[in-house]
Chain A
Amino acid sequence: MIRVARWVLRSLWIAGATALVVVALRTVMGPARVERLYRQDEVKRFHPTGGHGLGQLAGETFLVVLCAWGARRWLRVKL
């Protein structure tokens, strides 16, 4: 029971931190407004295609791995 309460309390701390970020974002950006409506069809734009999709996945994976490798090699990032 105490253990469950501890997990709930920790989750509440995380929810609080999340709320801080969300409130800050909402304050800076304001609510979504029709005057700033984005008019492109994003569902059509991101229609899944095998070639492009796998290319994008490979590209993003490469970028993350490159950042990790660079951080270890040149910034000597480690704990």
Chain B
Amino acid sequence: MRPWSVSQLRFAIDVALFGLILLLLSPRLTGLPVHEWLGLALGIPVLVHLLLSWSWIARATLSVPVRTGWRHRINYVLNGLLFALVILEITSGIVISVVALPSLGISTVEDGAWRLLHNRFLNILVLLVGIHTAMNWNALRTGIRRWRERVTG
């Protein structure tokens, strides 16, 4: 079997990340303990996703303030918001953790205000994940095509 190229690895990570986010949005399927551990683990694929997208991040950060169209500017802002929301969800999840952190010996307080924050921003996260998927639809389609070519030989 051929080794994975960077684009194939990126596609596999993105699909895994998408699946993980869908699982995290369904705590009634996983139960709270698995939800919390998956939430903690989410940081790893997010980090890898960002590292593999670094060339775009660096290029866009330099070019967006000075010379790009509005589509790229909006995309950049949406990606920034998505990043902030993911961090918000992970952080608030850590603060109100009732299973994962206590099992590591770290005591937490199940604060109602942090819980409200955690729950309220989920809907915006769903919206932004959808728009992010739409923005990168062509890349996603290319990834699926390449994956099918790889599987079928």
A5 to B112, CA, bound (A): 42
| Interface: B67 (CB within 8 A) | no
| Interface: A43 (CB within 8 A) | yes
* B:1-46 near A, CB below 8 Å: 22-23, 25-35
Name the CB-closest residue of A to B27: A46
A52 to B30, CA, bound (A): 11
* A:4-33 near B, CB below 8 Å: 7, 10-11, 14, 17-18, 21-22, 25, 29, 32-33
A64 touches B126 (CB 8 A): yes
B47 touches A11 (CB 8 A): yes
Task: Say what secondary structure dominates the interface of chain B.
Answer: helix
Q: A18-B87, A42-B32, A71-B131 are in contact. Are A32 and B111 (CB under 8 A)?
A: yes
B110 touches A37 (CB 8 A): yes
Q: A29-B114, A52-B28 are in contact. Are A70 and B108 (CB under 8 A)?
A: no
Q: A22-B87, A32-B95 are in contact. Are A78 and B138 (CB under 8 A)?
A: yes
Report chain B residues within 8 Å CB of A36: 111-113
A32 touches B114 (CB 8 A): yes
Q: Closest CB of chain B to A43's CB: distance in Å?
A: 5
B117 touches A29 (CB 8 A): yes
* B-contact 0/1 string along A28-59, CB 8 Å cutoff: 01001110111000110111110011111100
Task: Say what secondary structure dominates the interface of chain A.
Answer: helix
A64 to B123, CA, bound (A): 10
A38 to B83, CA, bound (A): 27
A79 touches B108 (CB 8 A): no
B29 touches A79 (CB 8 A): no
Report chain A residues within 8 Å CB of B113: 29, 36
A32 touches B108 (CB 8 A): yes
| Interface: B71 (CB within 8 A) | yes
Give chain B's interface residues, CB within 8 Å of chain A. 22-23, 25-35, 47, 50-51, 54, 71-72, 75, 83-84, 87-88, 91-92, 95-96, 98-99, 108-115, 117, 126-127, 129-131, 133-138
